[in-house]
Structure 1
């Protein structure tokens, strides 16, 4: 395959990949993004039950029939907090992240080497025959090297995300921890906003109003993004993304 054919094949593949995303955009020209249907998250092809390290099981004594306490209760009244698969819980997300890093480095090194063989096992008398004329045996090797490196780096970031999102208990782990996940979609005109949250929480961290702070979620996955006419304009063109990925310079 010639070089021209290879380049043409690469451009064709890039165009096909770009077309996959363009078909969806062309299909909704003049229409707002469609809302996703409400569905069981455990039936999603990408759903995978969470498996975490568990403590050794402990024996629990059976409660007598006339006990004032029932399994899972924390008060005499019914516990309204999420505890079983299918229960709802509100996750409070309040992220205010600030990071500022600054690094500077400087390195310099110089080296000089000289080596000669004025005498070697009595062979100095034969240097004239062994070596080309004009070579000084005392200065056979001479090397110089210098190296200088300077580097500066700076990162300054400020992020703030505040939202409330209802999640569903998808799984109860053997130690009682709850695997929760939720998704929320908000459409304003032709712009869609997607909010997703997932993680593992302890029942003890659930407040009395059935809410939990986002920093109580282990393996937290929180996403806030959008799609629509405004988001499309903010995205680099497919050709530009392709060139950014394959160009080595």
Structure 2
């Protein structure tokens, strides 16, 4: 009974896997979730209704109000809901070139001059010209050559504000930020997420993208221009599933 159940389960899950592949072919690849662990970077931002008591009027003979921000307090992000500025300055390039070559030659020769006195009888059964001393002989030659090269260059210089979505037990913070700019019928979207250490945040409440662990940075757009530049969905599906 287990085999029919397993087959039925596989048939039910196959459309889900196919839908995921079709979605990737049509919409493009998605970024992996932020780890450490991934559950600590929720899709929905957390909101804090009241982080601290509201400032109260100054009491008699006092210049300070209860709950007011102190002048010399550290203004860097440290709690859920705080805002942190991320400086993205990517200027990477890579040039890789590989060449491989291999060759192999092998040969095998075997004979049965004596086989319990049956070597003469085999000549009557097998086609003419049979020789027990040269019963088997093989030769093979294999050659393989390959070459490949990769040249990549990318440059992005942007600034985005991110929100602290959670604080890990060791004090590290998970941040997420999205920025959208619309010009006519085209929307440009910048998304950043990852994990930062409090000591890496500068006094100006900024951090570089190179100091973000599990960084997920996405810069793209949607609209008329992106739709024209994108490969048609039908062509993407054919290229995705074509075995040739």
Match for residue 56 of structure 1?
Answer: none
Q: Aligned runs of 1:1-249 on 2, under 5 Å?
A: 48-50=39-41, 77-249=72-244
CA distance in 1 between partners of 2:119 and 2:172 (Å): 85
Cα shift at 1:118: 1.6
Structure 1 pair 188/76, CA: closer, same or farther in 2 (3 Å)? closer
Aligned with 1:118: secondary structure? coil
Cα shift at 1:237: 1.1
CA distance in 1 between partners of 2:76 and 2:204 (Å): 7
Structure 1 pair 134/50, CA: closer, same or farther in 2 (3 Å)? same
1:37-73 residue CA offsets vs partner (Å, 9 max, x unmatched): xxxxxxxxxx94259xxxxxxxxxxxxxxxxxxxxxx
1:115-168 residue CA offsets vs partner (Å, 9 max, x unmatched): 111223343443444544321111111111110100001001001111000011
CA distance in 1 between partners of 2:227 and 2:191 (Å): 20
Cα shift at 1:77: 1.7
Coordinate RMSD, CA, aligned: 2.6
Aligned with 1:232: secondary structure? helix
CA distance in 1 between partners of 2:179 and 2:234 (Å): 32
Q: Are the counterparts in 1 of residues 123 and 131 from structure 2 also a CA contact under 8 Å?
A: no
TM superposition score normalised by structure 2: 0.70
